Amino acid sequence: MSSLVQELNDNVLSMRLHRPGTHNALDEALVEELCDAFDSVRASTARVVLLSGEGKSFCSGADLETMRRQGQASLAENERAALRLGALFEKIDTCPLPVVARVQGAAVGGGVGLVAACDIAVAEASATFSLAEVRLGLVPAVISPYLLRRIGLGHARDLVLTGRKILAGEALRIGLVHRIAETGQLATTVDDVVRELKAGGPEAIARAKRLLREVDARLNGPRDALSSFTAHEIAEARASKEGCSGTSAFLAKKPPPWSGKGE
């Protein structure tokens, strides 16, 4: 039975972790299914990817039985498994479509990593987040690049070194999640985010994701090179078919061609 349920509806590709008995823990099979799913996104007609979890929790992190087995394997085999998990977070981060996390219940360890790798995270007010690896004698190594970029070194030190649990309100304050939904309003709040994302041009959204990653990587480099890069990006966007059609539609007070509203 598949550990990942995929559905395409109204240009939204839903990827739902389907291991509720383990609170959607990430075992090798689920990691592979997620990697394959994100590899296939470009062939889809979707405009947005929605990542969620079945049952009470979003994701309880790495499957502990899998972790125990990997700990008994050779160092090379252990590292290969970790690299594959790292590849999943990279695929989410570099996905050309905007990826939204829909978080209920608990997000632990690698589950927090999934949240941090997604573009936008919406959490139910009662959701909890924890990086409990040190309490197991482990470290959140593979997710650390995404965690640090999302919440910064100061907040990461607090959560990683203590392993303490935080509520959605604190996760919002430190930047781990972007919006909080009151009980019973999670679906509505996620729908609002999806609608806002679909208002943007598909090519512009993909270009903007690449732009933000590249600018972030270049911030400490030569300023002239950064200025040249950003100038090239806006020049290409303005001259693109989507850019021209979107600007023309706005000036004519008409919906953009990707809205599906016609004239």
Catalytic residue annotation: 133
What separation, in Å, do the N-terminal and C-terminal C-alpha atoms of the chain show?
46
CB atoms within 10 A of CB 220: 7
